[in-house]
Structure formats: structure tokens, C-alpha cells
Amino acid sequence: MLETVLPLRNATASWLQEKNCDELTILPHEWTEAENIFITLKPFYTSTVLLSVQDKPTTHKAYMVISVLRKHINKYFRHQSTALKDAAQAMETKFLKYFDDIPLFVVIAHILDPQYKLEYILTESIVSHATYKKEFEDFFASFYAENTVDNREYASATTVNAVNLPQIDQSDPFAVADNAFATRRTHSTPSQKNELEDYLTSPILPRKQDFDILAYWRVHSHL
């Protein structure tokens, strides 16, 4: 509503004057206050729209939203408007109730966005960067270990059925070489450390408004 009416400031004043509605005249300082309120609240509206999309995940955007909103609130602690200053202090109390410690799943989702990884966190705080990097590595190690067990069980199950496969023609060097390569690929265990480091140290992707994180990980699921 404020976004609609603020550009009509002069038109509103002229209309009120024309209709002799002096008692409804909006004073200059009231327009200024309305503009300050609009500037204060607009980021919260933007954040709500950004995180309320129904047809795609948005958790990976939450860390940045939380960070931006916290800075935005803190900016008003020194505002000349007493009303906005008091509101900002009350808002921070409520905000910290939920986000003083950012949930780990929000951090992990953010790092798994190849447009950010750990780079945005590094611009926030070196301490947070080190802490979140360690938490992400620990989470990845736990997740990796569980899935490695599943892979080993799957490999064992497929080995039982291997006897039913056709025999390789040992006189065909190409068939022998191809079979040896396929066997190494099947039974080799990828390096957890290298896989994680490769992702974190590779260049981040250019930012795109319509970036589809699920499509990215579908394509890169083999990494």
C-alpha cells in the first residue's frame, strides 16, 4: 500500500486541496515517516516472497536472507526516528529468538548452493566460516560413511550375481582392458576428502535469478 501511495504524494496533496479536505492533509514530516516505514519493511516483504515459492526449494536461500535481515535491523539502532529505533530493538529480540544460532540444515543447504558454497559466509565472518566449514565437513563425513556402507552392501549383492555374467574373451585385449576398467570403477572407493574439497575449491557459479539447484545436482550427482 505504501509503495503504491508514495509516488502519488503530490497528486494526493492536490486532490485534498481541491476537495477542501484540509483536515486530511498529510504533512511533510508524515510523508517522510511513511517513506521511512516503507524502506524499513520492504526487505521483509521481499524475503517473504523469496522464500515462499511453491514449486522449487528455497532453503538454500535462507542463510543469506537471515544475514541480510539481521544487518538491516541493526542499521536502525542509530536511526534518528525514535519509533523506528525502538521497533528495531524489539525486532532484533524476536529475530534472535529464532536465528541467534542459525540451524545447521540452513547452513548446509546454503553451502550446497554452488553459487555461494563458503564464499558468502567468509564475507560475513572468518569465525563463522571456520565453524560452518567444520560442521559441514562433519555432516558430510557422517552422510558419506552411511552411504558408503550402502554401496558396499550393493556391491556385495551384485558380486553374488556376477557368476551369471558372460565370460570375457581373454584373447580380445580390448574386451580384457574394458572389463578391467569396469571392475576398477565398480569396486573402487571414491575419496571422501577429495570429493568434498573438489566441490568447495572449484569456482562458484555466476548468480542467476532463475537458478535451479535441483537440476544442478541431478546433473552433478556423480561428483
Distance CA 140, CA 7 (A): 51
Q: What is the pLDDT of residue 164?
A: 46
Please give the pLDDT value at position 135: 92
The C-alpha angle with vertex 101 and arms to 100 and 102, in degrees rounded to 5, equals 110
- pLDDT in the model for residue 179: 65
> Positive or negative CA dihedral for 134, 139, 142, 147?
negative
* Nearest by Cα to 223 from 178, 188, 191: 191
pLDDT for position 162: 41
Reported pTM: 0.70
Please list the pLDDT of the chain residue by residue as tens digits (223 residues): 888 999 999 998 888 888 888 888 888 888 988 998 898 889 999 999 989 988 889 999 999 999 999 989 988 888 888 888 899 999 999 998 988 889 999 999 999 999 999 999 988 888 889 999 999 999 988 887 777 655 544 444 444 444 444 566 666 656 667 666 556 544 444 455 678 888 999 999 998 888 999 999 988 876 5
Torsion of CA 104, 107, 108, 114, to 10 degrees: 180
Q: Any idea where the domains of the chain sit in the sequence?
A: 1-52, 53-152+207-223
